[in-house]
Structure 1
């Protein structure tokens, strides 16, 4: 007999399991799976990350803090308010969910670098999903401990009918303002995730040389050389412009006096075309034409398309340089 009662009790708990918290838990796991499996830059990946970042953790935390439904002030007394668990309505719950999510996510981002997992897409999504699921289960326990009549339940029809019976216009207006504020904030953040095109693309220019160990490094380029010797350098161009781009590279020897370029001499010029998201490299042997004992600056100037008639560091799309001293 006791066995049958235990079984019925377990099924009763399952039937009473809050639907909203079950959905939150499942969506958090699905969002984690999509955010970590889809390719970077995918619209579906951004859509999956949106609720995990801006809603789900906060909703689960609100469920822990406020397991009860809101009560009509006319149906309670001062003594009952002190003894009963504080409840909030649907609009307040949604507003707090967004606000608390924006508070939880930065804390996760600050804590992860101090863990063995580090900060990245996978650990961040995993941490937010775990936090959401754990908080949701705590919210389930908190809600089921209340009498059934006082628990918060998701019932759109009941909420609409209850809103229609509200006598205070101030409460109605504040609820509408809160809904609009949450909607506008969420929309603005979603647009920021899905349409970051205002930042534009970029091109990265870098110079490398081989050290004594055979490794490619960015320092110790140039220095002191004998007259007629060349400086071996590797030019690297990374195209992140969002489209195929044609480039022109001008290697220019410059004589500097009092911080101003007083003489220019184009040593080499090359052209290349790179697809979006690709990196191209080229090996150059730069031979300065400066006289012995003279120090010159060798600038590598990068242009989108053709180079102007007078290439300078100011009109280049990207530029970098190194110094060379020619010895006897």
Structure 2
């Protein structure tokens, strides 16, 4: 087929402009789609450099195809961070929407400018080839054995890279697995906690859990009333009293993705009300267990678990082995 004429002379630039628009629609309508990820990679790693190089060097004689390909990747890797650096000094910052808009404007502007430069070029470079021209470009018939071997290796490397990229896109590595576990004051904010009560007075907090474990998880929340001190001589924690508070609960939550953009929304929240029947300085410990709950010893006659193996739960919570939260409460007579 002969070299394209008319509007087909700009098929690559028109495709880039169209793909930029499509990517914006995908991010808005289907943010988790595989096509969005594939277009997003090319949008960042290839297209900015391609339209920039095509604008600077519209003539065929200025660069060969391999140089244009290499510079398209190299300049893209340089242009995108510079745009991000500029956004860092604006009120919008480095966030998805500002980056998307900036790169889209960049690609559209230089895509149109590259088309104008190609129109006025004497011998414009157009990414169009045939098998015959490809053989001429790589000089296959006149190449030596070493050159032919290197060409084959290069082609295999390109195909392997494309295959690897396709695999990475279709099999994304899951992010870090974790669970959000938090308590809020009765007003739904990280303030106003019931830290000063009288004997028998009710205090209320909001317990929240968000599952980012990449699979369904069955949680158990235990609540313990603990009286402990720190021994400076032996550098150990001494648990004097440890009582289970009523209201333990179990629930199963599906995994939800971490949302970087937009407002944070809770997955599960529960009001928890407690009271303490003895004056003193107490700690309310909220322990979170995933899928497997610990087996507790038989309840002591006085209900105090401080001298049983159950105290290890609090000790593990203190050293961070068990995911937990603590609320210090002063109870007055």
Considering the TM-score relative to the shorter chain, is it more than 0.5?
yes
Question: After the TM superposition, which residues 139-288 of structure 1 pair with which residues of structure 2 at under 5 Å, given as runs?
Answer: 139-148=114-123, 151-157=125-131, 158-163=133-138, 164=140, 167=143, 191-210=167-186, 215-254=187-226, 255-258=228-231, 260-263=236-239, 264-268=242-246, 269-277=248-256, 279-288=267-276
Q: Is the 8 A contact 1:52 1:125 kept in 2?
A: no
> In structure 2, what is the equivalent of residue 105 of structure 1?
80
TM-score, length of structure 2 as denominator length? 0.73
C-alpha spacing 1:253/1:111, structure 2 compared with 1 (3 Å): farther
Displacement, 1:191? 4.9
Partner SS, residue 185 of structure 2: strand
User: Of 57, 61, 80, which residue of structure 1 is paired with 2:52?
Assistant: 61
Q: Aligned partners of 1:241 and 1:112: how far apart in 2? A: 33
Q: Is the 8 A contact 1:246 1:274 kept in 2?
A: yes
Q: Is the 8 A contact 1:295 1:323 kept in 2?
A: yes
Count residues in correspondence. Answer: 292
1:17-70 superposed Cα distances (whole Å, 9 cap, x missing partner): 4322222222222222222221x3222322332222222112111212332335
C-alpha spacing 1:29/1:201, structure 2 compared with 1 (3 Å): same
Partner SS, residue 294 of structure 2: coil
C-alpha spacing 1:172/1:105, structure 2 compared with 1 (3 Å): farther
Displacement, 1:147? 1.4
TM-score, length of structure 1 as denominator length? 0.74
C-alpha spacing 1:15/1:283, structure 2 compared with 1 (3 Å): closer
> In structure 2, what is the equivalent of residue 47 of structure 1?
38
Q: Aligned partners of 1:256 and 1:182: how far apart in 2? A: 65
Q: Aligned partners of 1:125 and 1:185: how far apart in 2? A: 26
Q: Is the 8 A contact 2:59 2:122 kept in 1?
A: no
Partner SS, residue 243 of structure 1: coil
Displacement, 1:236? 0.8
Structure 1 residues 177-186 or 160-169, which shifts more? 177-186
Partner SS, residue 299 of structure 1: strand
CA RMSD of aligned residues (A): 3.3
Are 1:36 and 2:28 an aligned pair?
Answer: yes
Q: Aligned partners of 2:161 and 2:76: how far apart in 1? A: 12
Are 1:93 and 2:68 an aligned pair?
Answer: yes
Displacement, 1:251? 1.1
Gap runs ≥5 in structure 1: 1-11, 71-85
Are 1:320 and 2:310 an aligned pair?
Answer: no
Displacement, 1:117? 5.2
